[in-house]
Each structure stands twice: as structure tokens, then as C-alpha cells.
Structure 1
Amino acid sequence: MRPLLAVLLSLAAAALSAGPKPQVKLTTSLGVIVMELEPQAAPRTVENFLKYVKKGQYNGTIFHRVIPGFMIQGGGYVDYLGKKRTDASIPNEADRALAAGLKNKRGTVAMARTPDPHSAAAEFFINTVENRSLDFKSKANDKTWGYCVFGRVVKGMDVVDRIQAVKTSYKRSDFPNLPVKPVLIKEAVQIQ
């Protein structure tokens, strides 16, 4: 009985020392989304995201890629499709996040990237369905590396669903899923 008690006390102490997880509030033109981040599962990714939040990188950006039944992506462009400057890209922590139980499920937040697995900078996406094909499988190539999940929506999935439902247009070949009326991220702030 004593070993079990020691383990339980150890787990309780670890949970208390970890403290509350950081939360970020996105105020969008369609409502508020609150995301809780997972620094223990994806430490460099969370640190990178919070750095951009603190410097106001996401304020005034849009959700430029909206695909119903898949995801909504934003954080990289302003409403006239000018690309925002970013710092250097970060290493992909999809393997570490998956080992901690984070998968590309409905409501999770992950880093967007190019075919280069280690090209994520500021853009992120929110999964609107379970997207198992985006989870880490191996380090063999760009298709198996996956996309790093680093948080989840804890408030505002109704807003995510409203964004997912907006009308999109194929105005430009480089923006095939662009909302006809811009969906703006007015402000992103850390609230916890």
C-alpha cells in the first residue's frame, strides 16, 4: 500500500508543480476562441507560438485557408494577402507531441508547414474533424513526419464551426480556399 501512496503523492506533486497550462484568446470577426497549450508535450512549439502572441504577430491576420470537414488555417497573412514576416522556422515536434498523446483530432491546434517537415514558423491550424493522416508516423520523409499538435480549443468551437462554414472562393491559385469575406483575427492575447 505504501508504494502506491508514494506514487500517488509523487503524481499529485508533479501536477501541482506544472501549474496551469497557458491559454491564448483569439478574438476573431466571428467570435472568441480560447486555446489551451501543451508546453510539456511540445515545448519549443508552444514557446514559439507564445512569442508571436506576445509581439502581436497575429493581430490583424486572417484565416486564409478554410476547408470544411478538414481545418481552418491562419496567422500568416493580413487581409490584403500580404505575408507577415516571421522568425526562423522551428523543429517539428510532432513525434514528441504524439508520444504525449496529442493527435490531430477535432478541436486541436497544430502548426502549419510547407513540405519541409521543419518549416513551421507562425501559421497554425485548427482541426475541425479527426485528421489521422496528419499525425506523426515516422521520420522517413515529409509525408510521414506529420504536423505538430500543441494545444486544443477549450472555448469557442462554435466559432471554429462558423469559420469553417463561410463561403470560400478560388480567386487565386495560391489561395484556393480563401474566404470571400475575410475572417479576421482582431487580437491574440495570452490570458493564462
Structure 2
Amino acid sequence: MIRFLLLALAAPLAAQEAPPVMPAGEAPVPRTETVALETAQGTIRIAVEVERAPVTAANFLRYVREKRLDGASFYRALRLTPDGTYGLIQGGLKNDPKRVLPPIAHESTAKTGLSHVDGAISMARAAPGSAQGDFFIIIGGLPALDAQASGEGDIAGYAVFGRVIEGMEVAKAILAAPVDPDAGEGAMKGQMIAAPVRIIRATRLP
């Protein structure tokens, strides 16, 4: 009751306050939505870039809303340095045909202005425009995965759509998980986590 009264008394004062003034020359912060990935190793919270990467963000949030990621896993750990300072962990549905949604258009980092910095979350894909329900989290920063202005091969890069805001220690623990040297195909052989880390649930937070 006391708390309710305090809130009620504060409301008229708040209503009379002038809206905050943005300092001259300072751009507004792009809007994000927060998602919690509760894993068997702990929780990773992600700020999803709904304003700067609207197509990719909407796709990921749909997977969350429809609970398609509940029960999925982090199954790949690519360690680029022995101490695990640089690398990525990949999770999602492993292209399970019963759970994936149709592929989405590719949102290039050249268009969104985002980058594969430490903690970035990005969509896994084959060809550009084939991303569905698998994603990866960067540990240490891998700008080489951004779109490239020129070069040979696939220069479209991968679609960053958010960043980890809490739980990087969980991501690093998953990166350090033992891998099966014989599992995986092609370039991913030896990168499959021996005991995949289960994603218990994915939840959109207020």
C-alpha cells in the first residue's frame, strides 16, 4: 500500500516534467529488443537490432515468439586461438526441416552499419539469402566476416543482427567445450561440440 501511494504521488510530478532534450549533434540510439537465451551453461542476453537490421531481427524474434528455439542447442565451437580469445559458437536448429522457417533476404553489414565485433550475433548461412534458424556469436571480434567492398569468392559477409549484453562468460564457456575431432563435414570437421549445449528456452524480455 505504501509503495502504491508513493508511486501515485510521484506520477503528477513526472507528468509535469519536460521531455529530455537530446544534446545538439547527438543521434538517437537505435531501438533494440532484448532476448534471453537460457542454456544449460547459463543465460545469454542479447540486444536485437530491430531498427538497424529489421529483416534479420524480425526473423529471429519470430523463432523466439513461436518457441522454435526452445530445445535447440549450441553445437559448434570454432576456436581460432588456443586460449579461446577469438572464435565463434554456433547454435540453432541445424536446418531441421520440421522447425525452420523460409529463408530470409540477406542484410549486409554494409547496409546496416553493424560489424562482427566481440559479442556480435549473426546469421549462419550458405549462399546469401539462405539464412533460416541458425546463428553464431562472436568471441573477440571477427571483422573479416563483414561484407567486403571487393575481393574473390563470397564477399557479401554475414548478417549481424544484435549483440550480447550479458552472459559473455557463458559464450566463452561454450567456446571452451570439448569438440569431437571426427564430427562435422568439410571446413567444420573437428568443430562440433561433443556434448551440444542445450538451449532450454528463448524468451523476449520487456
In structure 2, the partner of 1:150 is 161
User: Which consecutive unaligned segments of at least 5 residues does structure 1 have?
Assistant: 1-5
What aligned pairs does 1:30-49 form with structure 2 within 5 A after superposition? 30-49=41-60
Note if 1:181 corresponds to 2:195.
Answer: yes
Following superposition, the deviation at residue 38 of structure 1 comes to: 0.9
Give aligned pairs, total. Answer: 176
What aligned pairs does 1:6-25 form with structure 2 within 5 A after superposition? 8=23, 21-25=32-36
* Structure of larger gyration radius: 2
In structure 1, the partner of 2:9 is none
- Tell me, in whole angstroms, the C-alpha distance in 1 between the residues paired with 2:97 and 2:151: 30
User: Which consecutive unaligned segments of at least 5 residues does structure 2 have?
Assistant: 1-20, 80-85
Note if 1:70 corresponds to 2:87.
Answer: yes
- Tell me, in whole angstroms, the C-alpha distance in 2 between the residues paired with 1:59 and 1:23: 16
In structure 1, the partner of 2:111 is 96
Aligned AA (1:150): F
Report sequence identity in percent.
31
Specify whether residues 185 and 7 from structure 1 end up closer, same or farther in structure 2 by C-alpha distance, changes over 3 A only.
Answer: closer
In structure 1, the partner of 2:124 is 112
Specify whether residues 173 and 32 from structure 1 end up closer, same or farther in structure 2 by C-alpha distance, changes over 3 A only.
Answer: closer
- Tell me, in whole angstroms, the C-alpha distance in 2 between the residues paired with 1:129 and 1:110: 14
Q: Check conservation: 1:70, 1:129, Cα contact below 8 A.
A: yes
Q: Check conservation: 1:103, 1:135, Cα contact below 8 A.
A: yes
Following superposition, the deviation at residue 88 of structure 1 comes to: 1.2
Structure with the bigger RCO (C-alpha within 8 Å, sep 6+) is 1
- Tell me, in whole angstroms, the C-alpha distance in 1 between the residues paired with 2:26 and 2:90: 36
- Tell me, in whole angstroms, the C-alpha distance in 2 between the residues paired with 1:117 and 1:65: 21
Q: Structure 1 residue aligned with 2:61, among 29, 33, 50? A: 50
Following superposition, the deviation at residue 173 of structure 1 comes to: 3.7
Q: Check conservation: 1:45, 1:93, Cα contact below 8 A.
A: yes
Following superposition, the deviation at residue 182 of structure 1 comes to: 2.0
TM-score by length of 2: 0.76
